[in-house]
Amino acid sequence: MKRIKTAIVGASGYTGQELLRLLLVHPQVELVAATSRQEDGKPLSDVFPRFRKLPGAGLPFMMPDPDAIAATGAEAAFLALPHGVAAEIATALLARGLKVIDLSADFRLNDAAVYEEFYGHAHPAPALLDEAVYGLPEVRSDAIKAARLIASPGCYPTSILLPLIPLLQAGLLDPATIVANSMSGVSGAGRKADLSLLFCECNESARAYGIPKHRHLSEIEQELSLAAGEPVVITFIPHLIPVNAGIATTTTAKLRDGIEPARIGEALEEAYRDAAFVRLLGQGACADTKNVTRTNFIDIGWIHDARTGRIILSSAEDNLGKGAGSQAVQSFNLLFGLPETAGLQCA
């Protein structure tokens, strides 16, 4: 089978490293470009010794020049860049005929005004927002297959949306009562020098942050509103916990009047019985990050609290995997007509 020539733009961060880990061994991928301004000219294996002796690990990092990337023959590019930066190079690569899978927030929102509200500056490429497909494979597989520009979801949103979307589509929950509490490993903040992320600041400690209006709320509420068919506003409380990777999310909401709790399990099963990377744990089970780190799986459990009338949804994923790199590869597989699980069975 023909191997697809692929580029990673911004390959030296945590998400970029995860993409390298997956794509260097993907059976249908030929990695032809990996960019990093800081590591320009250095072989991948020198910067990340874990990749030594893997095929392609001698590829040198290059500068993120669109012409140079296109000259490699790349058909697709993953963008692991900060928001605001990704849009410019996405526009340039699309103009050069590449398909783009963007892991930043630049194309996740349908409304440029909402982007400006949550990200603090005008959208850098508003003309592309109508074209971009929100890349949640279990929800938008058909649109992903036909896309030219895929906006891969954020890590927190993935952990919240996948449990809730089928339940809102079925009209089982009162959207006004949704509260989501999430805990993320420190790698979710990116590979950067920041006092608040030093080992001694994070170890043996847990703290909430980004409240009451974390940036990911914008895409969470957008997608929940689409699922519910009405505007949805939720409370979202993210926390930083002293682990390298993993997200555990507990979401609660009240059942609508007259809905039997068993409908929750039925709706989840109907939505995900054929989903390769969603593992339903059933009623009474709580998801555990140790079972999903370094994989593309999301685990989902649920329980009915008869005392409060609330449903409690528990989910766990790897923030660098299903919440970032491996989910983007899952969309790549759909985009190029490959088996959805290609290169991800042991991700």
Whether the per-residue pLDDT at 3 is higher than 80: the answer is yes
Whether the per-residue pLDDT at 172 is higher than 80: the answer is yes
Q: What is the mean pLDDT of residues 251-263?
A: 97
Q: For the chain, what is the mean pLDDT?
A: 95
Q: For 151-170, what is each residue's pLDDT tens digit?
A: 999 999 999 999 999 999 99
pLDDT of residue 200: 66
pLDDT of residue 205: 83
Reference 233, options 249, 250, 248, 253; nearest CA is 253
Whether the per-residue pLDDT at 197 is higher than 90: the answer is no
CB atoms within 10 A of CB 113: 11
Task: Enumerate the β-bridge partners of residue 7.
Answer: 33, 77
The angle at the Cα of 73, spanning 70 to 75, to the nearest 5 degrees, equals 85
Q: For 276-317, what is each residue's pLDDT tens digit?
A: 999 999 999 999 999 999 999 999 999 999 999 999 999 999
Among candidate residues 155, 202, 286, 346, the one labeled active-site is 155
What band does 201 get if pLDDT is binned at 50, 70 and 90? confident
133-134 and 235-240 beta bridge pairing: unpaired
Classify the phi-psi angles of 247: left when phi > 0, otherwise alpha if psi is within -120 to 50, otherwise beta.
beta
DSSP labels for 314-346?
Answer: EEEE-TTTTTTHHHHHHHHHHHTT--TTTTTTT
Asked if residue 300 lies in contact with residue 279, where contact means CB atoms within 8 angstroms, the answer is yes
pLDDT of residue 236: 98
pLDDT of residue 168: 98
CATH of 4-152+324-335, one of 3.40.50.300, 3.90.1150.10, 3.40.50.720, 1.10.645.10: 3.40.50.720
84 burial (CB, 10 Å; 0-12 / 13-18 / 19+) is middle
What band does 347 get if pLDDT is binned at 50, 70 and 90? very low
Asked if residue 253 lies in contact with residue 259, where contact means CB atoms within 8 angstroms, the answer is no
346 given a catalytic annotation: no
Whether the per-residue pLDDT at 189 is higher than 70: the answer is no
pTM of the model: 0.94
pLDDT of residue 188: 65
Q: For 31-84, what is each residue's pLDDT tens digit?
A: 999 999 999 999 999 999 999 999 999 999 999 999 999 999 999 999 999 999
For a pLDDT cut of 90, what percent of the chain falls above it? Answer: 90
Query: Furthest-apart CA pair in the chain: how many Å?
Result: 64
Measured CA to CA, the distance from residue 326 to residue 88 in angstroms comes to 24
210 burial (CB, 10 Å; 0-12 / 13-18 / 19+) is middle
Q: What is the mean pLDDT of residues 109-137?
A: 96
Q: What is the mean pLDDT of residues 253-268?
A: 97
Asked: is 156-317 a CATH 3.40.50.2000 domain? The reply is no
* Cβ-Cβ contacts under 8 Å for 57 (sequence gap 6 or more): 24, 43, 44, 45, 51
Instruction: Write down the domain spans for the chain.
Output: 4-152+324-335, 156-317
